[in-house]
Amino acid sequence: MQSLVDQLETLPEWLDSQSQPAFRARQIRKWVLQKRAIDFAAMTDLPQPLRERLAETFTVLPLEIARHQQSPDGTEKLLVKLSDGNHVECVLLRDGARRTICVSSQVGCAMGCVFCASGLDGVERNLTNGEILAQMLLLQRLLPADERLSHIVMMGMGEPLANLNQVLGALEVATAAEGLGISPRRITISTVGLPPAIDRLAKLNCRFNLAISLHAPNDALRNQLVPVNDRVGIADLLDAAERYFQVSGRRLTFEYVLLAGVNDSVVQAVELANLLKGRCQLLNVIPYNPVAGLPYETPSPQAIAAFRETLMREGIEIKFRQRKGDKINAACGQLRRIANQSPQRHSLDGDAKGSTL
């Protein structure tokens, strides 16, 4: 059965085919996008026969919650099951007044970053527009009625720029006033860095923030950590990022996952500073969130401090991302792997003890 959120654009035609007036489309969209309905029975201002016809034809969402974990710091993580049985993950983070959601764009990932859980088994498929939007809607439902989502980061599983059409389709609804009403300046697309797709974002005059996952100060190391770099190269990537900045006016962010003994030395910090000087708007350093079975480790607090001080001395604006939700395997891709590897553990409904799974 098709899902309504995958058919929002064709809904007016379907209603027409059912001899329904055009304003019903607006009503239904409002129920789904703003009034948080996930079944047609809740849509009390629609005539009963229409509700029944809708329920025979569509599901509201194309996915369901397979597992829900909550961390003491307010982070909540959903493992969702898609209608074909695949799983993806998405997260709600609470930070002061911010209600940020982290959303997946693909089942798995083809980029092959060696430290990341999402791509260990390659990419299975792209998510549809509706599957991306539906994650936002499920996360929105975790909030009390008087709270709204404030920020979106496309930092879940998958490479958003490898599924750009569907990601942009979902973000269009996220930004629309009669959708989720979230300003593009509160939306960040995180990418491994694919220059043709970055240029497309620029051509479309997008106003989203772009976060580039750099992770290494030179091509030799980046080729090892982020294999797709072999075909891209840091120089071309930085040029594309600069072109996007010229058009969007949005501050660029570079992300750098700190891996002990791999990319965290003071020499590498200096090399990174030299690479980014004059172009960097913000460097977001993320201490590694260990993934079971992978050989990488989080650096010691001393190594992290030395790395940070070196970059600050070199005049780079730097932010250390707090690691939220690591007790619930919130580095995306981890929960799905656990679910895939040990289906019998599905029944262990998650709480903060998820970290022991």
Binding site for ligand SAH (CB under 6 A): 111, 113, 115-116, 155, 159, 190-192, 213, 255, 257, 286, 288-289, 291, 331-332
Q: Which is nearer to ligand SAH, 138 or 167 (CB)?
A: 167
Q: Is 100 helix (H, G, I), strand (E, B) or coil?
A: strand
Distance, CA of 264 to CA of 271 (rounded, Å): 11
Q: Which is nearer to ligand SAH, 25 or 91 (CB)?
A: 91
Distance, CA of 202 to CA of 240 (rounded, Å): 9
CB of 207 to ligand SAH, least distance (A): 19
Please report which helix (H) or strand (E) contains residue 124, including its range.
Answer: strand 123-126
Instruction: Give me 82's structure tokens.
Output: 């898609």
**Contact present, 86 and 107 (Cβ < 8 Å):** yes
Site of tokens 């007790």: 327
Distance, CA of 37 to CA of 29 (rounded, Å): 10
Q: Which is nearer to ligand SAH, 113 or 338 (CB)?
A: 113
Q: Which is nearer to ligand SAH, 107 or 113 (CB)?
A: 113
Provide CB contacts within 8 A for 296, sequence distance 6+: 114, 115, 259, 260, 262, 288, 290
2-3/58-59 β-pairing: parallel
Q: Which is nearer to ligand SAH, 179 or 333 (CB)?
A: 333
How far the first Cα of the chain sits from its last, in Å, is 34
Q: List active site positions.
A: 89, 332
